[in-house]
Chain A
Amino acid sequence: MFFDDFSSFLYMGGHAQYVWLSYGLATVIVAINFISPVLTRKKIIKDIERQLRREQK
């Protein structure tokens, strides 16, 4: 590892706020891109299934 210990890894040579804020934002945006289509899919399937059930009756 480049850093001597874990706390100096977190400290990032005084640039902690910049580095961790960037990686935090990246995590949020990546998570949104993964989760959003899953939620949409669930909603679409629910709607289609409701429609199918109505047709069967």
Chain B
Amino acid sequence: MWTRLKRLYHKMGSPKWFYEITTRWSKWFMAVGSILMLTGVVWGLAFAPADYLQGNSFRIIYIHVPASLLSQSAYIIMAVAGLVGLVWKMKMSFVVGKVIAPIGASLAILSLLTGAIWGKPTWGTWWVWDARLTSMLILLFLYFGVIAIYNAIENDEMANKAAAVLSIVGSINIPVIKYSVEWWNTLHQPATITLTKKPTMAPEMFIPLMLTILGFYCWFAVWVFARTRNEILFKERKTNWVKKLLLSEHKKTTGAQL
């Protein structure tokens, strides 16, 4: 067991292996994610009943909750990747952390925007400086911070280290987001989904939500894999396997020699 795990770890550290395996995995994540999203969105938009208090605006939940959850999960993955990179000097780990930052930022933006749009008919305001909303805004700025570090620092090794440290320190914000609705009096409603209690939502509202959450996670994997493969291609551009790969792809698409 242990040796197998160790072998997997070493394989994951190899850019070529990562490139090839994620090419295969991506197709599956793409197919499953698309089916889940399509089903969940159609179900949530057209078939789920309207909320008895909020009416049809509650249908924003099928975007807002997956985007919010994923933007936080993505942050945790980014921080763990940074930690693994710092402790075990695993280069691939830094690459994954680096490519997550822009994706996570886009999801945090989606969460904040859909939250604001949902807030208008529900609370009568686009924005309040309450704990949940403010800590989500901080999450977005943490992502911006990581992106800025990579843009500002030319030296790869320095940028990796600085970004990893910021990711790890910033992860203190994640429990703050999670418990903000319990610790402070907020306008934001308490968690929709908890692992410990049975869902309070009706199943015909809840199941499509699970589908869009899982669908978003699958798509997230596709996005991370695609960006990581780009980083690998660039970093390994001088190696033989990349040259061979490009030559064979070139032949396939144009039928001509390079």
How far does the alpha carbon of A37 sit from the alpha carbon of B222 in the complex, in Å? 10
Contact partner, B226, options A2, A23, A29, A41, Cβ 8 Å: A41
Decide if B67 is an interface residue (CB 8 Å cutoff): yes
Q: How many residues of A contact B (CB 8 A)?
A: 33
Classify the secondary structure of B's interface with A.
Answer: helix
B60 near A29 (CB under 8 angstroms)?
Answer: no
Decide if B56 is an interface residue (CB 8 Å cutoff): yes
Contact partner, A21, options B45, B117, B249, Cβ 8 Å: B117
Q: Could you tell me the distance in whole angstroms from the C-beta of B159 to the nearest C-beta in chain A?
A: 18
Contact partner, A33, options B49, B223, B243, Cβ 8 Å: B223
Contact partner, A34, options B49, B223, B249, Cβ 8 Å: B223
B56 near A44 (CB under 8 angstroms)?
Answer: no
**What class of interface size applies to chain B in its complex with A?**
35 or more
Contact partner, B230, options A3, A30, A41, Cβ 8 Å: A41
- How many A-B pairs with Cβ below 8 Å? 101
How far does the alpha carbon of A21 sit from the alpha carbon of B57 in the complex, in Å? 11
**What 3 A-B pairs are tightest by C-beta distance, nearest first?**
A37-B226, A15-B57, A12-B56
A13 near B55 (CB under 8 angstroms)?
Answer: yes
Enumerate chain A residues within 8 angstroms of B106, measured Cβ to Cβ: 29, 32-33
Contact partner, A48, options B107, B226, B242, Cβ 8 Å: B242
14 extra interface residue pairs, beta carbon distance < 8 Å, beyond A44-B233, A52-B258: A12-B59, A15-B57, A18-B117, A19-B45, A23-B45, A25-B63, A25-B113, A25-B114, A33-B223, A37-B227, A38-B226, A45-B233, A49-B246, A52-B243
